[in-house]
Structure 1
Amino acid sequence: MNYLLHNPRSKLIFLTSLVLVFQVLSQQVLKGQDNQPRDSLLAKVKAIPMAEVSVQATSINSLLVEKRNMLLTGTQRARIDHLVDSVLARYDVIMEDPRQKRFDKINAREIENLKNEWGNVSARLQELQGGLTSRVETFENEKALLQIPLRQWNLTLEQARQDNAIRNVLEQISSTIDAIEQVFAALNENSDFLQDDLVKISEKLISSNEIILTLESMLDESVIQRFRFDKPVIWKDSLYVRDTLAESVYFKANMPAIKAFVTDNSRKLQEHLVLFILITLVLVILFRRLQKNVAKKDEEYVLRTRVLMTKPFSAALMITFTYTLIHYDNIPQVIRSLNAILILVPMTLLIAHNIHQAVRKYLYLLMVFVLLTLFHDITYKEDLFNRLVMLLVCSGSFVSVIWMLRDRSIRELASETFFRRLLYNLLYVVGLMMGIAIVTNIFGGVYMTEYFGVSTLYSIVTAVLAYSFILVIDGILIMIIYSKGISSLTVIKNFGPTVEKRLAGVVALAGWTIWVLAVMREFRILDEIFSWFKRVFVAPITIGSTQISLLNIILFIFIIWLTITISRIIRFFLEGDVFTRLKLKKGVPGAISLILRITIITIGFLIAIAAAGVQMDKLAILLGAFGVGIGFGLQNIFNNLISGIILAFERPINEGDIIEVGALMGIVKEIGIRSSIIKTYDGSEVIVPNGNLISEQLINWTLSDQRRRGEVRVGVAYGTDPQRVLDLLLEAAGSNERVLDDPKPWAIFLGFGESSLDFRLLFWIAEADTRLTIQSEVAVMVNQMIRKAGIEIPFPQRDLHLRSADAKILDRIHAVDESISKKTGQQFPKAGMQGKGKEES
């Protein structure tokens, strides 16, 4: 709050938001008045006048036709029954799964797979429940709406019978009531039909959610068991060697999960295929454009876009298969493993040509170990073979880390940048994790081996994947920024490297943030981190009767910062590219920019208030109390804010104008919300409150015209022909190309001065900011032409009377006078004595 009170930009936010808040509150009050209970509406229904029965009957029949079109057709009913039966059949299949009947005997991997399958069923049930519920709500609303006309027509029938209406009118009213009741009954029947299915779905959904909770609790227990040595040491474990024929058993065990995944996501798979085709086409087009433009670009450009130039198809595959992880819900473990293999191949091809040669061989070793781990995941079984595979993977990774740490080329490469030194130091952590995995595997901690070894390995691969994505996206951004259309923008021409650097920083931050989250999820600490985050940042802090959380405060500050940043970016883009291409009146671009900034900041402030959890009624009270304080303590600040709005609409001054306020004169550099910046001619930048620009007398030398008048004053000796001097002055002004011909230069004889005949030369200049330069050039030309014409520019003369002086001084004065007389022919009077023994001069 202190920041808002002392930040000039935020003062305007408080003022405008005050108006908007009261508007919203008034709309909510009006809305509350309009929402009358339906019972009161029914009570106010009156019978239809007999003269309007025919017209109203036609109108209600048209309405009933629309209602009938909303009813379920036989095809739609059959389709709904099929969807419900298929989901319930899937529920029954999983309930009959053998794993479902022996929870206590299945391992953590099988529990995870079973949980994912139940998650898919639960998602299908929820989706179907949501669709049916929406249709039921529609039917119920239509039934409620029909109660009003039904009530009205029943009253009309009673009134017609009392008035002894003719038979045709009574029949028309009765038929209309029958039609309404038929549609009402049909809506009721459709609603009952859907509600029967909803009951079945709800029962199964409750059951499936209970099973999922049970499986999650078992997984939590298995996480605790990961840190137990519950297996015998490796040399005492029963030897079991898998033959090649038996391997098919493990693949067959995963087939139901694969088939169920394909069946449940058939539509998403089609969408995924279309997405892959589109991504491939886009990257191939980019690849061809890069090939055409590569000869025109420098070597650095080629280096930064090398990812797209080398393997566009591999980049498309990597993006498509990575999208699988977020496109589908509750992916089975076998699908995850197969998808990881499909990601590894294009990622390796893509990254191998874009990393240092010293690291490339270790990348290939990493991919081999990851493939072995994925093979272990697909054919998972708790036996000695599994332990030996994991021992091989962890031992190989440990040895590879030791080689990298001892490799001189790796050490030299790591010393170049801070980021590389950080990665090099992380190798010690990786080696430690692999060493723990080896020891735990040998001494019976199989689950700990997976936790420390496999999770670390997957984290490294995820980092490589994140780096690959950053390279691909950076290449695409660079290609777009320096493409023919975008590179022609003024912003890109002037600040292209800066824009590229900022975008690359955002991409890198997003990529590595996602990687950190993926690592925390892989080590199964993401939920604990989020729980801690909720306890610390989401927990309410009570201050009196108000509750607020740290997250609300952070969101408020972040949204305010983001709003100001967005307003600056939009202003930068508008002033750099949009306004320069549009023919607008002077000052209009600045006014549009200022108003847009005010609007964006106001909207952002209101969003920040909502994100902070401030209720509307409390906000209105707060603003009301704050308004009283504004009236006393902040009136000058708000005066300046309102003055800024007036400047934006009336535009008495614009950016670039030459103005004079009091003793201050300079060029307007910026018109802000609270104050404006004026740069004086001596280079200083003066911040002037907008209130001063409105209340004080202001001279704008360039409001409607950039032309400015210049002048040169000169005096010549007595005896000179004035007309000759006037002609010389006009000739001097006309000799300068930057002096305008219209209005024409004007020379005038001012009069007789004490020592000279005084003249004034007036002329006009096209651009006001060049007035001093051109005025100086004209003055120099006037001096040259007057001297060339032999006209003397006199200096001021004074008569000096000496009452007494030394004889030697008088002799020197006489000598100077005689010397001047010989050169110029001018005679000086003899110096005489005033009084005895004195001369007068």
Structure 2
Amino acid sequence: MLTDQAKRLEDLIGELAKRRDLWRRTEDDARASGAPAPVLDRVQESLAALSATQKSVEKRRAEMLAMQDKVTRELALVDDAVSRLTAYRQQTVGKILVRDSHPVWAMDLSGRTRGRLVAHVRDEFQSDARDLRDYAVENGPRLALHLMVFLVLAALFRSGRSRARRIVEQEATLEQATRVFQLPYSSAFLLAALMTGWIQPALPEMGRQAISLIALVPVLRVVRAYMHPGFVAGLYAFAGFFVTDRIRFFCSPSPVLEQLLFLGEMSAGCLLMAWVLRPARLGKVELSEAAVVALRRIGIAARILFAAFAVALVTGACGFMQLGRLLGGGALSAVYGALGLYASVRASQGLVAYGLRTRALRRLRMVEFSRELIERRMNRVLVLAAVLTWFALVLSRLELAVPTLALVESILAIPIAPGTELSLTFGKVLAFAVTVYVAWLLSRFVRFALHEDVLPRLSLARGVDYAVTTILTYVVLIGGFLVALGALGLDLNRASLLAGALGVGVGFGLQNVVNNFVSGLILLLERPMQVGDTVQIGDLTGVVTRIGIRSSTLRTGQGSEVIVPNGIFISERVTNWTLSDQMRRIDLSLGVGYGADPERVLAILVEVAQAHPNVLPLPAPTALLRGFGQSTLDFQLSAWTNQPEGWVQVRSELGISILRRLQAEGIEIPYPQQDVHVRTLPKA
């Protein structure tokens, strides 16, 4: 930002210098031509104004450059501090196998030492409290915003309590999702606490610890609402561990007190995990099938935690506190994070279930008709985000976040085609794939939103909605592909030149593909046929089920799906039986004997057609005497039906009904006869 302003000022100084030179030449020309004094005075005034403006801009540029230099020095100091901190953390992680504290048997716990340790902890606590107070004074608006977020969420959960009860009465399957509305303040505080990193990124560590302590009560209440009663005791035990862990944090200025508290935590953790794994206790708990599966997972986690606590206890007692904190503290942080994220996900899922059933969102057609799908997808996103956050927390607590990021960056920087001008790397290829995948997801959402909510509200001609949806889908995909090419590191200007150079050569080999592509655009824009139309191409008749950008699909009466290139629909004769309406005429020919009354036959044919439920009254059925055959009077029945796909069945039913009616009327349908005269030859 400062660089841009400095550049603009530099450009302005250059422009002012050009104008001063222009006015000086103007002054010289005016003096040489003997211009009047007022003109010379006006020129001199302009030169003076330009000089003053240039001096002011130069002064502003000097101030900007000084500020830029100061910011650069500050950034250098920050980078140096970050580098030192990173080096210290790496050095600390590298010394986890070095004894950094006294063993338990060598601790100095004399009265004088205890007093000095307590005083040291008190001084550090007061110092942190002063920092927190100063932060509160300087960041009052941020604290007010955070409080406002909590109050809004609390009001939302509280106002939705009665509505949640009605939702459960209508949909019993949502009983679990709406339990959080019975705990409005706890759910609101959980979600507000999750936003601490965004609303208050510079909050001192003491403030973060205080928020986590306060959030312990909401976490317990929400998790307990979804937990089997047999596991509640273990939940409260972990809550006790959490409180002890926060106390240990405040005692961290005193290594001895912190070590004693840590060893007490690890001892209690081993006892708790042994109690959880005791078979006799588990046998007394009645569990459902789903709870049994969850119990197996809890058993695996309990064994891992027991091993971590035991190793941390031994290493901490022997004075290897860095290793003990890494194992024991990391295990406890993993449990705390899992409980907090589980409670937050439950609260978020309750909000999603409630929000999708509010009056405002029910007006959206895609919510009304696809609520379950949207809710399932959103819940899946929430769970995925929670899992990724949990992994990030665990890696950070185990001091593995920085090495993991460095390893990932090194892998992404591996060149795929070294020595080439394109300089591809795994990172660029991954960015390309991710961008294409996101564009595909976005195109699906655009199609879904247009098809479910936007286009049905508009008065469009038949087929326009499909054309708009298809074209916008391909626009999103093509745009995403171009962005993906940029992420791949390909210069789009050079890519366009390359495409133009290759277009001529490739065009000869891909003429049919280009022809079909252009024909697909013509089909979508002109709409000579639409999805659902019954069309005939040569001897192929079927229903259009898809109009793609290169080919279209016809479903024949035999059930087969035929892929037809779009160019055929443009270049050949296509009969669309349902372009303007769904009506189709049925022609049925028959012959009766010469002894029948023609007028009666015509009346019978019309009556049978009018009695059929799938024959339209308008246009009315007609019967005609078409001619005289060798042994029959030839008639034709013409009737209209609105069954473009089932017209063959209608014609068959009409034929059966006509045959039965003629038989009932005693009218004969002759079959071709031929007299054969046999002449016997005389015997020789």
Q: TM-score, normalised by structure 2?
A: 0.91
Q: Does 1:177 align with 2:50?
A: no
What does residue 332 of structure 2 align with? 457
Task: Tell me: CA distance 1:200–1:499, structure 2 relative to 1, closer, same or farther (3 Å).
Answer: closer
Matched with 1:235 is: 105
What are the within-5 Å matches in structure 2 for residues 42-121 of structure 1? none
For residue 157 of structure 1, report the CA deviation from its aligned partner.
2.4
Q: What letter matches 1:160 in structure 2? A: A
Displacement, 1:420?
5.7
* Pair 1:753 & 2:629 matched: yes
1: CA distance, partners of 2:232 / 2:140: 39
Look up the match of 1:287.
161
Distance in 2 (alpha carbons) for counterparts of 1:315 and 1:190: 52
- Cα separation, 2, equivalents of 1:520 and 1:508: 18
Asked if residue 275 in structure 1 is aligned to residue 145 in structure 2, the reply is no
Distance 2:407 2:294 in 1: 29
> Which residue is 2:517 aligned to?
641
Q: What's the counterpart of residue 358 of structure 1?
A: 230
Quick one: distance in 1 between partners of 2:299 and 2:376? Answer: 25
The residue correspondences of 1:145-160 to structure 2 (distance < 5 A) are 145-160=15-30
1:402 aligns with 2:274: yes
Residue 557 of structure 1 aligns with an amino acid whose one-letter code is A
The letter for the 2-side match of 1:724 is R
1:375-394 residue CA offsets vs partner (Å, 9 max, x unmatched):
11123233432222111111
Residue among 394, 401, 405 paired with 1:519: 394
**1:713 — aligned with what?**
589
Partner residue, 1:562? 438
Choose which of 106, 112, 127 in structure 2 pairs with 1:253: 127
> Is 2:323 the partner of 1:434?
no
Shift of the 742–209 alpha-carbon distance from structure 1 to 2, 3 Å rule, reads closer
Mapped to 1, the partners of 2:302 and 2:433 lie a distance apart of 38
Aligned position for 1:65: none
Query: Among the aligned pairs, what percent are the same residue?
Result: 28
Question: What is the CA distance between 1:365 and its match in structure 2?
Answer: 0.7
**Pair 1:153–1:511, CA change in 2 (3 A):** same
Distance 1:584 1:493 in 2: 22
How far is the alpha carbon of 1:304 from its aligned partner? 2.0
User: 1 CA distance for matches of 2:81 and 2:566?
Assistant: 68
Quote the offset at 1:611 in angstroms: 1.0
- Confirm or deny that 1:498 pairs with 2:373: yes
Q: Check conservation: 1:372, 1:393, Cα contact below 8 A.
A: yes
Residue 664 of structure 1: how far off its partner (Å): 0.8
Question: Residue 461 of structure 2 aligns to a residue in which SS?
Answer: coil
Shift of 1:162: 2.6
- Residue 300 of structure 2 aligns with which residue? 425
Q: Which has the higher contact order (CA 8 A, sep 6+)?
A: 1
Going from structure 1 to structure 2, the CA distance change for 1:194 and 1:729 (only over 3 Å counts) comes to: same
2:195 maps to what in 1?
323
Structure 2 residue 415 is matched with structure 1 residue 540: yes
In 2, are the aligned partners of 1:414 and 1:424 still within 8 Å (CA)?
A: no
User: After TM superposition, what 4+ stretches of structure 1 lie above 6 angstroms from structure 2?
Assistant: none
Correspondence for 2:139: 265
Are the aligned partners of 1:667 and 1:679 in contact in 2 as well (CA < 8 Å)? yes
Q: 1:167 to 1:281 in 2, by over 3 A?
A: farther
In structure 2, do the counterparts of structure 1 residues 577 and 685 end up closer, same or farther at CA, with 3 Å as the change threshold?
farther
Contact 1:234 1:384 in 2 (8 A): no
* Whole-Å separation in 1 of the counterparts to 2:313 and 2:118: 29
From the superposition, tell whether residues 335 and 492 of structure 1 become closer, same or farther in structure 2 (CA, over 3 Å): closer
Instruction: Measure how far apart 1:529 and its partner are.
Output: 0.7
Equivalent residues, number? 675
* Structure 2 counterpart of 1:312, from 174, 184, 190: 184
Q: What is the deviation of 1:667?
A: 0.6
The Cα shift of 1:787 comes to 3.0
CA distance in 1: counterparts of 2:553 and 2:339, whole angstroms: 50
Q: Is the 8 A contact 2:99 2:319 kept in 1?
A: yes
Tell me if structure 1 keeps the 8 A contact 2:150–2:189: yes
Alpha-carbon separation, structure 2, partners of 1:383 and 1:564: 55
1:367, CA displacement in angstroms?
Answer: 1.0
Match of 1:469 among 328, 344, 357: 344
Residue matched to 1:817: none
2:638 is aligned, of 741, 762, 777, to: 762
Check 1:161–1:495 CA distance in 2 against 1; reply closer, same or farther (3 A cut): same
Give the aligned partner of residue 90 of structure 2.
220
1:233 touches 1:444 (CA, 8 Å); kept in 2? yes
Give 5+ residue unaligned stretches, structure 2.
none
Paired letter, 1:306: R
Structure 1 residue 614: Cα displacement: 1.4
CA distance in 2, matches of 1:264, 1:456: 36
Cα deviation for residue 212 of structure 1 reads 4.3
- For the Cα contact (< 8 Å) 1:334–1:377, is it kept in 2? no
Provide the rounded CA distance (Å) in 1 between the counterparts of 2:363 and 2:69.
Answer: 62
* 2:645 partner SS: helix
Counterpart for residue 144 of structure 1: 14
AA aligned opposite 1:304: A
Once the two structures are superposed, residues 96-131 of structure 1 have per-residue CA deviations (whole angstroms, 9 ceiling, x without a partner) of xxxxxxxxxxxxxxxxxxxxxxxxxxxxxxxxxx6x
Confirm or deny: 8 A CA contact 1:713 1:759 kept in the other structure. Answer: yes
Deviations 1:744-794 (A, max 9, x none): 322110111233111001122234234234333433443343333332222
Q: Deviations over 1:117-164 (max 9, x none)?
A: xxxxxxxxxxxxx6x666555544433343343333333322322332
Task: Label 1:168 to 1:411 Cα distance change in 2 as closer, same or farther (>3 A).
Answer: farther
Q: C-alpha separation between the residues in 2 aligned to 1:500 and 1:199?
A: 52
Unaligned stretches of 5+ residues in structure 1: 1-129, 804-833
Task: For residues 369-424 of structure 1, give each alpha carbon's deviation from its aligned partner in whole angstroms, at most 9, with x where no partner exists.
Answer: 11111111123233432222111111111211121122416796797576664443
Deviations 1:515-546 (A, max 9, x none): 11111011110110111111112233315333
The 8 Å contact of residues 632 and 670 in structure 2, kept in 1 or not, is answered as yes
**Which of 478, 481, 484 matches 2:356?**
481
- Please tell me the residue identity of whatever aligns with 2:489: G
Provide the secondary structure at the position in 2 that maps to 1:498. Answer: helix
**Alpha-carbon spacing, 1:213–1:252, altered in 2? closer, same or farther (3 Å):** same
Contact 1:717 1:793 in 2 (8 A): yes
Shift of 1:199: 4.4
Q: Which amino acid aligns with 2:222?
A: L
Distance between the aligned counterparts of 1:615 and 1:725, measured in 2? 79
Separation in 2, partners of 1:405, 1:802: 107
- The one of 770, 773, 782 equivalent to 2:658 is 782
Q: Is the 8 A contact 2:485 2:492 kept in 1?
A: no
Answer whether contact 1:376 1:389 (CA < 8 A) is retained.
yes
C-alpha contact (below 8 Å) 2:588/2:636 kept by paired residues: yes
Deviation, structure 1 residue 356: 1.6
1:726 Cα offset (Å):
1.6
Counterparts of 2:289 and 2:312 in 1: how far apart (Å)?
26
Q: Indicate conservation of the 8 Å contact 1:668/1:677, yes or no.
A: yes
**What is the alpha-carbon distance in structure 1 between the residues aligned to residue 145 and residue 15 of structure 2?**
40
Partners of 1:418 and 1:162 lie apart in 2 by 102
State the match for 2:669 in structure 1. 793
Q: Which amino acid aligns with 2:204?
A: P
Deviates more, 1:683-692 or 1:151-160: 151-160
**Partner residue, 2:604:** 728
Partner of 1:55: none
Distance 1:676 1:423, change over 3 A: farther
Amino acid at match of 2:253: K
Confirm or deny: 8 A CA contact 1:240 1:384 kept in the other structure.
no
- Quickly say closer, same or farther: Cα 1:674–1:411, change in 2 above 3 A: farther
- TM-score scaled by length of structure 1: 0.75
Query: Secondary structure of the equivalent of 1:547?
Result: coil
Q: Cα offset for 1:195?
A: 4.1
Instruction: Pick one of 157, 174, 190 that aligns with 1:301.
Output: 174
